[in-house]
Amino acid sequence: MCASASNRPPAIELQGLRKCYGGKVALDGLNLVVPSGCFFGFLGPNGAGKTTTIRILIGLTAPSAGSVRLLGLPMPGKAFEVKRRIGVVPEDSLLFDRLTGAEFLQFAARLYGLGGEVAAHRAAELLALFELDKHPRKLIGEYSKGMRKRLMMAAALIHRPELLLLDEPFEGVDAIGARLMKDLLAAQVRRGATVFLTSHVLEVVERLCDRVAILHQGRLLLEAGVSELRQAAESLEDVFVRVVGAAQSGHKLEWL
């Protein structure tokens, strides 16, 4: 259940969001409200428009039509204020390869307005928490994929954001790292932050999230509380397959 407080505006509010790439429609009139304090799972098959949505939310892509409000503020109009209050783990790497993990975290913290000492202190703590402190002088360019994801998560958390936008955050992360990240995200929601997450691992989404939305071909097909789905005695995977994928499973290749 989302711990939404009535006096707080929705964390995310999308109205009639549309994005076209040439003739291809990536998002087709998306309307979505994510309450504050919610752990929200944003699902869809490959190419559904999830990453496009996240890129629009964080201002990397401009929508063709529609409006976006994050934490009650319009985007991109109040982008600067919004960016200070959100943490992002995008699908692509945001990391500068020629810095060490500690340097990058301090760098990110100071850009978020933290003082030098606080930045260094938090960076050290986060590195230890994410078990990235074994090789303090190793450059990020030499990190494995899982280490890079963990570092991105640490950078997204360092300024204690009110809203976390996470695009496939567990991809490439080992079981221990993933468990740590899940616990941390759950703790963020308990303290009142909102987590907006995309993932293809439906079991994880089902276990962590309060609400889910399923996007397909740029359109919102379903939005519901996870508890409502459970009452219908269906797993999230069953719902997902029923909603977006049933027609595709019948084809078999003779030669394969």
Partner 1 sequence: MRSAVPLLRVILWAQWRSVANLRVSEGAWGRWLAALAALLWYGLWTAMALGAAVLLAEPSRQQLALVVPWGLLSVFLYWQLAPLITASLGAALDLRRLAVYPVPENALFQAEVLLRLVTTPEMSLVLAGSVLGLLRNPAVPRWSPLLALPLFALFNLLLSAGLRGLLEGLFARRGVRELAAFVLVLAAATPQLLLLAGPPGFLREVALRAPPVYWPWVCFGRLSIGWFGPQDWALAGVWMAAAYIFGRTQFQRVLRAGQAWAATGADRRPRELSRDRQQVGLLSCWLGDPLGVMVEKELRSLARSPRFRLVFLMGFSFGFLIWLPLVRHRGLFWENYPILVATYAVLLLADILFWNAFGMDRAAVQFWFIAPVPLRRVIQAKNIAGAMLAFVEVSFVLGICALLGVRTGWAKVAETYAVTLSLSLYLLAAGNLSSVWLPRPVDPEQSWARASAGRFQLLVLVVYPLLGAPIGLAYWFRYALASQTAFLIQLALAALLGVLLYRLWLGKAVELAHQRKEAILRAMTESGGPVLMR
Contacting partner 1 (CB under 8 A), which of 72, 74, 97, 192?
97
Nearest-approach distance from CB 82 to partner 1, in angstroms: 8
C-beta closer to partner 1: residue 1 or 21:
21
Task: For the beta carbon of residue 60, count every other beta carbon within 10 angstroms.
Answer: 13
Task: Classify residue 131 as left (phi > 0), alpha (psi -120 to 50) or beta.
Answer: left
Contacting partner 1 (CB under 8 A), which of 9, 29, 66, 107?
107
Stretch that binds partner 1, among 29-37, 82-90, 122-130, 229-237 (CB under 8 A): 82-90
Task: Classify residue 240 as left (phi > 0), alpha (psi -120 to 50) or beta.
Answer: alpha
Stretch that binds partner 1, among 84-92, 126-134, 194-202, 236-244 (CB under 8 A): 84-92
Task: For the beta carbon of residue 223, count every other beta carbon within 10 angstroms.
Answer: 16
Contacting partner 1 (CB under 8 A), which of 53, 100, 194, 199?
100
Using rule CB under 8 A, residue 88 touches partner 1: yes
CB 228 within 8 A of CB 217: no
d(CA 85, CA 89): 14
C-beta closer to partner 1: residue 36 or 100:
100
Using rule CB under 8 A, residue 51 touches partner 1: no
Nearest-approach distance from CB 227 to partner 1, in angstroms: 33
Using rule CB under 8 A, residue 96 touches partner 1: yes
Per the DSSP assignment, residues forming a β-bridge with 164 are 87, 195
Using rule CB under 8 A, residue 65 touches partner 1: no
**Residue 136: cis peptide before it, omega within 30 degrees of 0:** no
Contacting partner 1 (CB under 8 A), which of 5, 67, 77, 142?
142
Using rule CB under 8 A, residue 93 touches partner 1: yes
Neighbouring residues of 75: CB distance < 8 A, sequence distance ≥ 6: 57, 59, 68, 69, 82
Using rule CB under 8 A, residue 139 touches partner 1: yes
Q: Which residues of 17-48 are buried (b: 16+ CB within 10 A; e: fewer)?
A: bbbeeeeebbbbebebbbbbbbbbbbbbbeeb
C-beta closer to partner 1: residue 19 or 211:
19
CB 102 within 8 A of CB 127: yes
Contacting partner 1 (CB under 8 A), which of 8, 9, 33, 61?
61
Give the footprint of partner 1 on this chain (CB under 8 A).
58-62, 80, 83-84, 88, 90, 92-100, 103, 106-108, 110-113, 116, 135, 137-139, 141-142
